[in-house]
Amino acid sequence: MPSHLISAVTAMFLENQNADSDYRLQHIFIYIATAYKAVTMDHIIVFATLGVALVLFAWGRVRHDITALIALFILVITGITDGESAFAGFGHPAVITVAAVLVIGKGLEESGLIELIGKWVMKVGTNIVLQLLTLSAIVAVASAFMNNVGALAIIMPVAIHLARKSGNPPSYILMPIAFASLLGGMTTLIGTPPNIIIATFRADETGEAFGMFSFTPVGIVLALAGLLFISLIGWRLIPKRAASKSDSDLFDIDNYITEVEIARDSQSKGMSIAEFTASTEVEMQILGLVRDNIRMHAPEPEEKLKVKDIVIIETDADELNTLVKETGVKLAGGRKIRKDAEGSKNIAISEAVVMGDSPLLGKSVSEIMLRRRYGINLLAVARKGSRIHRRLPKIIFRNGDVLLLQGREHLMHDTIVSLGCLPLAQRGLRLDYKKTIPLALSIFAASIIAVVAGFLPVQASFAIAAVAMIISGVLPLKKFYTSIDWPVIILLGAMIPVGVALETTGGAARISGLVLRLGETAPPWLMLTTILVLTMFLSDIINNAATVVLMAPIAIGVANGLGYSADPFLMSVAIGGSSAFLTPIGHQSNTLVMGPGGYKFTDYWRVGLPLEIILVIIAIPLIMIVFPL
């Protein structure tokens, strides 16, 4: 818009106002017009790039790390970001610290520490409130010092077992402990990537980063309040989901859609569909019949079964096992894997959840070539919220799908992890835990002392601790790299230059200025609330690390504009970045429990909305007390 046109529109607007018109509305209009006048092409490119990134983050079809790279490449191509420094973000202290913390967390997991605690928890009684308080507290404490998802995944089997012992559906427990993993992450510097990122922004602003326990005074009060809410009230707001019929099942998931083949030695050969159903007490539903690669979607009850016929059924894991034993059919997806000559490679069946960064997403079994490339068979798929109508080879994997996989026992866990899935098998406690637990704790404690005492910067101290975990034998070398969540590392490394571009082009200052103008007469607590709520909203739809990278410069700009310390505003961003409680896509912990817990998308806000309101009410005055303006 030309400057003379802006002036004309502004004058026209002022001339047509009555004497008693709202001066504030006039003032805002003038500011917006002036701000528009000062917008440069650099601003337009940066804001357009961020807009594209936010849309892709929220859409979810493009992985968040790829989205971050797309945003970075746009800025490099347009000249906003210097090509020589485009990848400087990968050497940023925040990126190094996050990677090191993930390795250390894996070392603590491998030591058997959390599993040992889990065995103690099994002694808790059948009262669900006591179970929730105990499990949530353990997950929160573990999440303060290790990867949130890792802590949650280790405690999940214990939680399921406790729920079933008391006759409660696992859905009452899984969402609360997932939320507890987020609450625990608020309490320390290394509890979650947003805190590490905020600490580096503070170092750039003031010359000194937040310390290891700078987040604790505010974080621990919020965590305690959140734990009390979800343990006493929150679980009651969760819709009741049907519990599994068998206590032997590790997770309560909906029925599998799977395929069984009529074998030559099966007594089902020659039976009609109706006779086959009546020959076993297994509860199942026959969805289709495949013969000579032709599918019958609704086979007649009188249809006779022939050798090599494939019957598509819906049943749960326990019933599926019984069906195979009673009828002699075999799993169509599970062709026998040959054992090695020494006979030591036993075949195992394991459940796994497809995570948000899995290479399986959007692809089918035939595209991935699971059997040929990875040596595992897909036996069945369970998906919440919708029935799967496709045959197994054609099922398109989605985030949160629960897979039943078959493969060599000694390779199963690592293969599942390499596929971007989380294995849901209950792990046996390591036999050497009495030696490795003290060693792992000693390494971890030494790294924390080095940071708190000021001997080493956090990124150096934790990197040394991560390597020490390998040298000492606590963490196997082959798990060093697999323990790092590489999509998160790529996301951070790519988004940091994008955040820098937002700041250096003046884009962050313009957004901060608009916020200041809109709330120039507002009290400080309202400005803090605005920053906190906006960050919460973004973290519910996009990755929390990306949210913090974008919001931190804006928060600093608002603080400087008001003449206040940046600390309370940065703390608001940190808390908001860890408060993704409204959706299953806001954080991996939420996604992890969606399938096993049987949750629908809308179940999360039932507990998450009142929890976020409670956190906002408590956080704002607490921040202003601990971090004075």
Asked if residue 540 is part of any domain, the answer here is: no
Q: Who has greater pLDDT, 21 or 321?
A: 321
CB crowding 362-374: b at 16 or more within 10 Å, else e: eebbeebebbeeb
- Please indicate, yes or no, whether residues 366 and 458 belong to a single structural domain of this protein: no
Q: For residue 364, what is the domain's CATH number?
A: 3.30.70.1450
Q: What is the pLDDT of residues 340-357, one digit of tens each?
A: 333 334 667 777 888 777
- Note the pLDDT of residue 318: 61
- Please indicate, yes or no, whether residues 132 and 212 belong to a single structural domain of this protein: yes
The C-alpha atoms of residue 343 and residue 429 are separated, in whole angstroms, by 25
Domain of 17 in residue numbering reads as 1-38
- Please indicate, yes or no, whether residues 101 and 212 belong to a single structural domain of this protein: yes
Asked if residue 492 is part of any domain, the answer here is: no
The 3-state secondary structure of 379-404, one letter per residue:
EEEECCCCCCCCCHHHCCCCCCCEEE
- Note the pLDDT of residue 300: 81
- Note the pLDDT of residue 10: 45
The C-alpha atoms of residue 25 and residue 521 are separated, in whole angstroms, by 13
Instruction: Find the mean pLDDT for residues 486-510.
Output: 83
Residue 26's pLDDT band (boundaries 50, 70, 90)? low
Asked if residue 408 is part of any domain, the answer here is: yes
Average pLDDT, the chain: 79
- Please indicate, yes or no, whether residues 104 and 227 belong to a single structural domain of this protein: yes
Query: Is the pLDDT score of 515 beyond 80?
Result: no
Q: Which of residues 296, 331, 366 is at a domain's end? A: 331
- Please indicate, yes or no, whether residues 261 and 220 belong to a single structural domain of this protein: no
Q: Who has greater pLDDT, 349 or 13?
A: 349
> How many separate domains does the chain show?
4
**What global pTM score does this model have?**
0.66
Asked if residue 82 is part of any domain, the answer here is: no
- Please indicate, yes or no, whether residues 265 and 370 belong to a single structural domain of this protein: no
Instruction: Find the mean pLDDT for residues 84-100.
Output: 86
- Note the pLDDT of residue 427: 44
- Please indicate, yes or no, whether residues 303 and 398 belong to a single structural domain of this protein: no
- Please indicate, yes or no, whether residues 104 and 240 belong to a single structural domain of this protein: yes
Q: What is the pLDDT of residues 583-608, one digit of tens each?
A: 877 787 887 787 677 787 788 889 99
Q: Which of residues 283, 299, 331 is at a domain's end? A: 331
Asked if residue 542 is part of any domain, the answer here is: no
- Please indicate, yes or no, whether residues 171 and 269 belong to a single structural domain of this protein: no
Asked if residue 63 is part of any domain, the answer here is: no
Half-sphere exposure for 128 (CA within 13 Å, toward CB): 21
Q: What is the DSSP letter of 61?
A: S
- Please indicate, yes or no, whether residues 417 and 445 belong to a single structural domain of this protein: no
- Return the structure tokens found at 261: 């083949």
Residue 3's pLDDT band (boundaries 50, 70, 90)? very low
Instruction: Find the mean pLDDT for residues 265-275.
Output: 85
Query: Is the pLDDT score of 11 beyond 70?
Result: no
- Please indicate, yes or no, whether residues 163 and 136 belong to a single structural domain of this protein: yes
